[in-house]
Homo-oligomer: A and B are copies of this chain.
Amino acid sequence: MDNINELDKAYITMPEGFKANGISADLKGNNALDVALIVSDVPCSVAGTYTSNLVKGHSLVRSIDVINKGNKIRGIIVNSKNANACVGQKGYDDACTIASSVSELLGCSGDEILTASTGVIGTRLPVDKIKAVLPQLVNSLSTEEQAAHNAELAMMTTDTVPKEVSAKVTLHDGRQITISGMAKGSGMIHPNLATMIGVFTTDADIDSQVLDKLIHSAVAHTFNRVSVDGDTSVCDMVIIMANGKSGIKIEENSEDYSIFDEAFTSLSNDIAQMIASDGEGATKFIEIEVFGAKDANDAKLIVTSVARSPLCKTAFFGMDANCGRIITAVGYSGATFDPDKVDLELSGLPVYKDGCAIDFDEDVAHELLTKHDINVKITLHEGDAYDRMYTCDFSYDYVKINGSYRS
C-alpha cells in the first residue's frame, strides 16, 4: 500500500518525542547490555496484549495493573536475564521499586513507568544492581539511532539478531505519522497471547481505547501466529505507546484508522517473521498456511498442530520432504475434515492430492528445502477459512541452547 513506507533504517525513537538507551547492570556478565529504557517526552496513551499463561511474571502483572488504571504513561523499563517470576510478593515490590527509581529520575509518578522482565524464572531480581545504573541510563537517553539499538540489544536473551521496524505512514490528507517497533523473542514462544516482549512507539495522537482495539487487531494474526517451541512464556507482552507529538489525531472508524491499522499490522507481521526466523537454533523460516478449512477454529488448530510438531520441524532441519509427518499433524490437530480431500504443497510443489501421496521429483523437493524460506500449503476443501503460522525448524542447536540455558 502506497500509504505505508517501511524504512530501511528502523529504530524505536524514529517517531517524534521518544528517547531510549540500554545499559549493562551486570546481570548477564561480560558488560553485556541488559537494561533498556524507552521514554516519551510527554505522557502517552498506551495499550497492551499479554501472555495467556496462568502464571505471570511480577513485572508483567504490575504493568497490566498500571495499564488497567487507564492513566497515561511516560515509558517502559525492561531487563533481560531475569524474568522476575515465581518469587512471590517480593517480585511485585521489586518491580515497583525499579519503576519508582526511574520515575524519580524522570520527575514523573511511578505509575507512569511500565516494567518488563525476561530471562530465568524463580530468582529474585538484583534490584540494587539495576538501581545503581539508572541515573546513568536516564542521563544517556537519546533520540539517536545507536541509543535506540542499545535498548533493543539490552532486551535480547537468546536472540541472535535485533528485531526493529519503522514506517512513515501517510494519512488520507497527506500528513505523515511514524510508527516504530522492537521486540525480543527466540524461545518459549507460542500463542496466546503476545508471545515475546514487543514495544511500539508512534507520534500519532490516539486514545487508549482506540489504541487497545488497534493492538488486538495487529497482534491477532502476527505475534499470535508465531510458534518456536509450543511453550508460552510467563512474561510476554506487546505494548504500543502513542505520544501525540505529531499533532495528528486518529479517531476510531476513520479512514486514517484503517491506514494506521494496516501499517501497525504490517510492522507487527514483519517482527513476527523475524522472531520465527530467529527461533532458537533455527536454520529455516517456515510459513504454514491452511486454505479451505471448515471454520476459523479448525484453521487455527491445523496450522498450530503442524507448527509445533517436533517431527515436522526436525524433518525441515534435515531438508527431508517427509510429507507424511505433515499429514499426520493435520490429522491429529483436532480439526474436522475429510482426509481423502487433503491437498499439500511444499513451497509450491504438489506432494499430496486428495489425501494421497503423489509422485514428485525428490531432487526438486530437496532443492526447495535447501532454501531458507519454506512454505507449507494445506488445502482441505471443506470451507473458506484460512490461517497461517510462522515457525522454524528444530535443530541440534535448539537442544544445545536449551540443555544449558541457565548456566
The chain A residues found within 8 Å of chain B, CB to CB, are: 51-56, 83, 85-88, 120-123, 187-188, 190, 229-234, 308-311, 314-315, 317-318, 320, 322-325, 327-332, 335-337, 339-340, 342, 352, 354-357, 394-396, 398-400, 402-407
Asked if A320 meets B231 with Cβ closer than 8 Å, knowing A339-B55, A399-B314, the reply is: no
Query: Can you spell out 15 A-B residue pairs with CB atoms less than 8 angstroms apart?
Result: A53-B332, A54-B335, A85-B324, A86-B355, A86-B357, A87-B357, A120-B322, A229-B310, A234-B327, A234-B328, A314-B403, A315-B403, A317-B399, A317-B403, A395-B399
**Among B188, B325, B404, B405, which residue has its beta carbon within 8 angstroms of that of A328?**
B188
Chain B's closest residue to A400 (CB) is B396
Q: Which residues of B contact A234 (CB under 8 A)?
A: 324, 327-328, 331
B233 touches A328 (CB 8 A): yes
Interface residues of A, dominant DSSP:
loop
Which of B120, B229, B332 is the one whose CB lies under 8 Å from A324?
Answer: B120
Q: What distance in Å separates the Cβ of A354 from its nearest Cβ neighbour in chain B?
A: 8
For the complex formed by this chain, how many copies does it contain in all? 2
Known: A123-B357, A318-B405. 15 other contacts (CB 8 A): A53-B331, A55-B328, A55-B342, A87-B356, A88-B340, A121-B323, A121-B327, A231-B325, A310-B394, A310-B398, A314-B398, A315-B405, A317-B403, A394-B399, A396-B400
Complex: how many Å from CA A257 to CA B321?
48
- Smallest distance from the beta carbon of A208 to chain B beta carbons, Å? 28
Given known A-B contacts A53-B332, A121-B327, A86 and B315 have beta carbons under 8 A apart: no
Report yes or no: B323 in contact with A231, Cβ–Cβ below 8 A: no
- A165–B400 alpha-carbon span in the complex (Å): 36
Q: How far is the CA of A113 from the CA of B188 in the complex (A)?
A: 47
Q: Are A330 and B55 in contact (CB under 8 A)?
A: yes
Across the interface, which residues of B come within 8 angstroms of A329, CB to CB? 231
Residues of B within 8 A of A56 (CB): 331, 339
Query: Separation in Å of the A323 CB from the closest CB of chain B?
Result: 6
- Shortest distance from the beta carbon of A379 to any chain B beta carbon, whole Å: 15
| Complex CA distance for A398 and B340, rounded to whole angstroms | 31
Question: Which residue in chain B gives the minimum CB-CB distance to A311?
Answer: B231
B85 touches A231 (CB 8 A): no
Q: How far, in angstroms, from A85 to B355 measured CA to CA in the complex?
A: 10
A320 touches B406 (CB 8 A): yes
Known: A54-B337, A83-B324, A318-B404. A88 touches B396 (CB 8 A): no
Task: Indicate whether A331 sits within 8 Å of B87 (C-beta atoms), given known contacts A396-B396, A403-B315, A407-B320.
Answer: no
- With a cutoff of 8 Å between Cβ atoms, the chain B residues found around residue A230 in the complex are 230, 308-310
A130 to B357 alpha-carbon distance, docked (Å): 21
Q: Are A327 and B399 in contact (CB under 8 A)?
A: no
Find A55's partner among B55, B311, B355, B398 (CB 8 Å cutoff).
Answer: B355
